[in-house]
């Protein structure tokens, strides 16, 4: 699968599957592998797609917080981002009796080390929620799939 966005800031990613659930991913000059755990039929040779999604979100939040704090000249020594994905059954759906409805939830905990005030930490919390990947995941996304 190759992704093309059609704009000048396009990101191209190629995913190739030769057999099983193992995926070879090429992102520019980088190569990584994705897979599923053995207990669900994969080979366990790489992170799952949801783990990669969480890694992308965590990396973006950390980078966004780092860039902002550096621009402000704040004393931020270390950022640790922990994320967890859940599929939570929706309790407030209209058709719950006939259709099982799940809501995806991601819990994100950011630990900041450094000489930061309460106000600075609060500002960095706001900034973390404005990272580009967070905004993409919480906006309307249009995905166009074609078979060649």
| Chosen CATH of 48-148 out of 3.60.21.10, 3.30.300.20, 3.30.950.10, 1.10.540.10 | 3.30.300.20
Q: pLDDT grade, residue 6 (50/70/90)?
A: low
Question: Nearest to residue 25, comparing CAs of 54, 3, 8?
Answer: 3
Residue 27 confidence (pLDDT) above 60: yes
Question: Nearest to residue 78, comparing CAs of 87, 86, 69?
Answer: 69
Predicted TM-score of the model (pTM): 0.84
Residue 135 confidence (pLDDT) above 80: yes
CB-based contacts of 46, cutoff 8 Å, min separation 6:
22, 23, 32, 33, 34, 35
Q: What residue segments make up the domains of the chain, in order of their start? A: 1-47, 48-148
CB-based contacts of 23, cutoff 8 Å, min separation 6:
15, 16, 17, 33, 34, 35, 46
pLDDT single digits (tens) 34-79: 999 999 999 999 999 999 999 999 999 999 999 999 999 999 999 9
CB-based contacts of 74, cutoff 8 Å, min separation 6:
114, 116, 120
Angular region, 74: left φ>0, alpha ψ -120 to 50, beta rest:
beta
- Mean pLDDT, to the nearest integer, of 117-142? 96
| E strand residue ranges, the chain | 13-16, 23-27, 30-34, 75-89, 102-115
């Amino acid at each position: 699968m190759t992704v093309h966005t059609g704009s000048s800031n396009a990101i191209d990613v190629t995913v190739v599957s030769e057999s099983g659930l193992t995926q070879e991913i090429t992102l520019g000059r980088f190569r990584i592998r994705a897979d599923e755990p053995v207990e669900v039929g994969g080979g366990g040779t790489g992170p799952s797609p949801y783990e990669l999604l969480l890694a992308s979100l965590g990396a973006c939040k950390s980078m966004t917080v780092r860039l902002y704090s550096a621009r402000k000249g704040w004393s931020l020594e270390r950022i640790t981002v922990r994320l967890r994905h859940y599929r939570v059954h929706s309790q407030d759906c209209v058709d719950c009796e006939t259709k099982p409805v799940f809501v995806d939830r991601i819990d994100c905990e950011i630990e900041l080390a450094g000489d930061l005030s309460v106000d600075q930490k609060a500002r960095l919390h706001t900034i973390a929620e404005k990272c580009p990947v967070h905004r993409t995941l919480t906006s309307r996304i249009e995905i166009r799939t074609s078979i060649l």
